[in-house]
Amino acid sequence: MKLITTMFGLIAALTLSLSSASVAMAGDGVVRDVRMWTAPDHTRLVFDLNKQIDYKVFRLHNPERIVIDMEHSVFKANLNGLKLPDPVLQSIRHGKPSANMLRIVMDVKDKVQPRSFLLKPMQGKPHRLVVDLSRPDEARKAAMSAGEPKSKKGLVIAIDAGHGGEDPGAIGPRKLYEKTVTLAVAKELARIVDATPGMKAVLIRSGDYFVPLKRRVYLVRKAKADLMISIHADAVRQRTVEGASVYTLSERGATQDRAARALAAKENAADEVGGVEFDQVDDPMVTQILGDMFRRDSLNSSQILAESIIGKLKGAGPIKYDVPKRARFYVLGAMEIPSVLVELDYISNPAREKKLKSRAHQKKLASALFGASVKFFEKMGRIKSTSDQAAVQPEADSVADQKLYAVNR
């Protein structure tokens, strides 16, 4: 009898060690992949799961660790792809403290604040567990300085690179991501703007991380931007479609234009792909109701800005629509600030994808956006009219040139 018990014990022990070697049982949760995105004020980890799981997140001190316990789960992901250490996360490992428990331990640098939520499957992505490790100090610093120019002497251009992090945006046939193109063009545009006396660029997203749409609107307002350009690249099934298009916010209700409406729905879904918890950033400013006159005025200026951009983009590549279109884009929510959304081209077209990837073409697009901004400011009487020549010399920084961009406020 005793022998039998021992035998059973042995079998049980064997089974246990098997399960701790990550053999998934039927019905187990499986962590299939882990991705990491480093933002200035937080690091986001996204765990791909085969199903919704029960989990808890807690903290251990000395040394500082954040622990995720997942019930009835096994780990099948590869951690080697994570670029560690990052400003928050030093290392990550996993183990099985008990047969039914998967434990993920993250060594963190500062006293970070963890926050977590589950996302349902969306646009080809599976169930996901999102864990944000925020650095409260950095967040406060970022909130203080976010965009706010030290002295508001010049004209501020807010540049919003669409998508980022967990949300790649559209993907080209050769796997070029929209988020990569938008950031490259945004950074190039910022470089030109910052090299121009009297102007300052504010990048709403400066790296490969996700920024919720409401937060983008908040940051545009915080920057006290004089104009905002949200940069995107479109995709459709038909691979021959090409060309740029420019959008402004439609005042209210559904737009008549079905294509524009579909595009807005696609761009507005970014939060669901990139990962936003309900009411994550509920900024009262966003829901603030502005006077109709004020709003109309800015919508008119957005139209003028959009027309300038189409005009300049004509010199950089093909154009899809000759006139600006309107739709309800969430990211254009700072209605008191002239704001446009630009689809640079179709990343779904292999030839255009190749162009969008090219550094030279990215620079061309950025200069076109800059030229259009200058033209817009001139039309609005915000800068003293220059010759067209001056407007295409964005990098001039001599003392004489500084007068060119004297600001009328």
**Residue in 164, 233, 158, 143 with CA at minimum distance from that of residue 203:** 158
SS3 call for 401: helix
**Residue in 372, 257, 265, 268 with CA at minimum distance from that of residue 326:** 257
**Identity of the residue, 162 or 394, whose beta carbon is nearer to Zn ion in the bound complex:** 162
Q: Which residues contact 208 (CB under 8 A, 6 or more apart)?
A: 37, 38, 164, 165, 179, 180, 183
**Identity of the residue, 177 or 376, whose beta carbon is nearer to Zn ion in the bound complex:** 177
Query: Are 170 and 214 spatial neighbours (Cβ–Cβ below 8 Å)?
Result: no
CB of 239 to Zn ion, least distance (A): 18
Distance from C-alpha of 180 to C-alpha of 165, rounded to nearest angstrom:
10
**Identity of the residue, 134 or 348, whose beta carbon is nearer to Zn ion in the bound complex:** 348
Task: Tell me which amino acid residue 335 is.
Answer: M
Which residue is it, tokens 């669901």? 272
CB of 211 to Zn ion, least distance (A): 13
Of 230-249, binders to Zn ion (CB under 5 A) are: 232
CB of 231 to Zn ion, least distance (A): 8
Stretch that binds Zn ion, among 37-45, 205-213, 229-237, 365-373 (CB under 5 A): 229-237
Question: How far is Cα of residue 275 from the mean position of the Cα atoms in its chain?
Answer: 10
Stretch that binds Zn ion, among 103-111, 169-177, 239-247, 382-390 (CB under 5 A): 169-177
Q: Which one among 147, 164, 165, 169 touches Zn ion, defined by CB under 5 A?
A: 169
Stretch that binds Zn ion, among 158-166, 327-335, 354-362, 388-396 (CB under 5 A): 158-166
CB of 212 to Zn ion, least distance (A): 14
Tokens of 107: 């060594």
**Identity of the residue, 55 or 247, whose beta carbon is nearer to Zn ion in the bound complex:** 247
| CB-closest chain residue to Zn ion | 232
Of 122-151, binders to Zn ion (CB under 5 A) are: none
How is 81-132 classified by DSSP, letter by letter?
Answer: TS--S-SSEEEEEEEEEETTEEEEEEEESS--EEEEEEE--BTTB-EEEEEE
Binding residues for Zn ion, rule CB under 5 A, total: 4
Tell me how far apart the terminal alpha carbons of the chain are, to the nearest angstrom: 94
Of 252-311, binders to Zn ion (CB under 5 A) are: 267
CB of 219 to Zn ion, least distance (A): 17
Q: Does 179 bind Zn ion (CB under 5 A)?
A: no
Q: Does 162 bind Zn ion (CB under 5 A)?
A: yes
Of 365-384, binders to Zn ion (CB under 5 A) are: none
Residue ranges that bind Zn ion, judged by CB under 5 A = 162, 169, 232, 267
